[in-house]
Amino acid sequence: MLPYVTHDARFARLVFGHANLEKLTSGCRWAEGPAYFPAGRYLIWSDIPNNRMMRFDETDSSVSVFRSPSFNSNGNTTDHEGRLVTCEHFMRRVTRTEHDGSITVLAEQFEGRRLNSPNDVVVKLDGSIWFSDPTYGIDSDYEGQQTKSEIGASHVYRIDPAGGEISLVVSDRVQPNGLAFSPDEKLLYVADTGATHVDGLPATIWSYTVRGNKVAEPSLFSTCPDGLYDGFRCDIHGNVWTSAGRSVFCYAADGTHIGTIPIGEIVANVCFGGPQRNRLYICGQTSLYSIFLNTRAAV
């Protein structure tokens, strides 16, 4: 039985009939934020309620604790120098782990008010760091610490690579969550999981035209038929591989849902890894999965 469902002929060119969905490890409470480090051939991801970050080694399939406590870390990525960039719910900040292991705080306030709980993060080719800031880490003590929002809304921000200034780039979403750039960086995709706070609000992904250090012209990219979108990444062809309820959906760049990989538990996030960047790592709620694809990461 194939580990995926093809809805469009374009998807058949992106998968292998003999590549299995692999369950690599389990035991998490809420697995999130996978980030791949090619120099060491390992993956880092967050286990938010357990207040730790985990590490999967591709060379021997071993699993270990990378950081504990992690301040309820959520989204992770790497910058262009191979450093770990992390969103921390408990500390309500974005940090960078330097090569010597020290921690640099990149963002913790906007216009004098503390951030909500940075959630997902991406790095643009110009070195700027873009992150979403919904309220999930301050909504309860399960993923952070319950408190009121000082900002009073949830936005997407940009950290300037030269001076570190923080600017607001997306302000029209209820709970902005997952982020990704298209391969040419002309589009910023933003998931809105505001259905967790507003009854009847559709679960959506929006695309924004990128104009320098700002965005404009939001357009509805897709609506999730069941559950929520959360984290996602683009491949080299511009396809969007996204968490979608209990599955991974693949959307073509034109917004067509072309394929589904059923996982069997709620999916939080994905990223590409492996020496060829053609291994899709998938964070389910409790477990880490992977599947090899006939495509690779956009960058």
Query: What single DSSP character describes residue 12?
Result: H
User: For residues 274 and 86, what is the distance between their CA atoms, to the nearest angstrom?
Assistant: 21
Residue 177 is assigned to a ligand binding site? yes
Phi first, then psi, for residue 170 (nearest 5°) are -135, 120
51 is in an annotated binding site: no
Say if CB 230 and CB 178 are below 8 A apart. yes
CB within 8 Å of 253: residues ≥ 6 apart: 182, 237, 238, 239, 240
3-class DSSP assignment, residue 195: helix
> In this structure, how many other beta carbons lie within 10 angstroms of the beta carbon of residue 76?
25
Distance separating alpha carbons of residues 298 and 206, to the nearest angstrom: 19
Name the active-site residue from 47, 120, 192, 230: 230
**DSSP character string of 189-221:** EEEE-GGGTSTTPPPEEEEEEEETTEEEEEEEE
- What one-letter code names the amino acid at 240? V
Q: Which residue has the tokens 């073509």?
A: 252
Give the whole-angstrom CA distance, residue 13 versus residue 180. 22
Of the candidates 78, 55, 77, 50, the one whose C-alpha atom is nearest the C-alpha of residue 66 is: 55
Phi then psi for 11, rounded to 5 degrees? -70, -35
Euclidean distance between the first and the last CA atom of the chain, given in angstroms as a whole number? 32
Asked whether residue 119 is marked as a ligand-binding residue, the answer is: yes
Q: State yes or no: 72 annotated in a binding site.
A: no
Q: Which helix (H) or strand (E) holds 215?
A: strand 214-223
Q: Determine whether 230 is an active site residue.
A: yes
Q: Which residues pair with 35 in a beta bridge?
A: 44
Known binding site: residues?
A: 32, 119, 177, 230
Known binding site for substrate: residues?
A: 119
Known binding site for a divalent metal cation: residues?
A: 32, 177, 230
Which residues are known catalytic residues? Answer: 230
